[in-house]
A and B are shown apart, each in its own frame.
Chain A
């Protein structure tokens, strides 16, 4: 089974900073990756699909990149409302495995 490993587990960033978080697949998943944002007490929200496609209504400060086994979610000029957990997921077919998540905190 494919294992998705996210790093770092947590990060503390100031408003206006640029943040990069990583997702590594244990085998080639091509571009079959999605990124989700989850705030406390809320359901996850889709941000990025197929590695680099921004979902409807997602601000353009969110950018996904990568192919194969290494993927990155970048947030340019982080806003206070971006404080959340972020999860990557292998998509398209079974198993739809999630990574362990990255917690983004604001200083």
Chain B
């Protein structure tokens, strides 16, 4: 059974950093591109970042470019999202997802990140 378990979400002050993790199991992690998607309270879904199977290619939405870094450790079957210079508008539930042939099929349960002073 595919499982994606996010962790690392907390309350953080604006301008500070946070790193999210997503532990994967039940599939060959290294064979799938992965992504982070977020959802602000009462709002819709927003794609954040994508990483290729090897980690050699990464893609970001404009509003997080230069502040967020997506990475992966295939030996540990874990996906990461390093978030720097956090802003209040980054407050959201962050989901990790698998990408199969271009679409997002498996999703984690999400982790809440609150950016507030």
Contact = CB atoms under 8 A, between A and B. Distances in A.
Contacts of A38: 45
A55 B61 CA distance: 26
Contacts of A87: 44-45
Interface in A53-107: 55, 85, 87, 89, 91-101
Contact of A32 (B44, B102, B110): B102
Nearest to A90: B47
A34 B104 contact: yes
Interface in B55-74: 59, 61-62
B47 A98 contact: yes
Nearest to A50: B103
A50 B104 CA distance: 11
Q: Is the interface of B mostly helix, strand, loop or mixed?
A: strand
A46 interface: yes
Q: Is the interface of A mostly helix, strand, loop or mixed?
A: loop
B103 A46 contact: yes
Interface string A23-50: 0000000001010101000011110011
A81 to B, nearest CB: 18
Nearest to A49: B103
A45 B107 contact: yes
B80 interface: no
Given A34-B103, A91-B103, A98 B45 contact: yes
Contacts of B44: 85, 87, 98-101
A36 to B, nearest CB: 7
Contact of A89 (B104, B107, B109, B110): B104
Contacts of A91: 102-104
B105 interface: yes
Given A1-B62, A96-B50, A98-B47, A46 B109 contact: no
Interface string B76-117: 000000000000000000010000011111011110000000
13 contacts: A32-B102, A44-B37, A44-B45, A49-B101, A87-B44, A89-B45, A89-B47, A89-B103, A91-B103, A94-B50, A95-B47, A95-B59, A96-B47
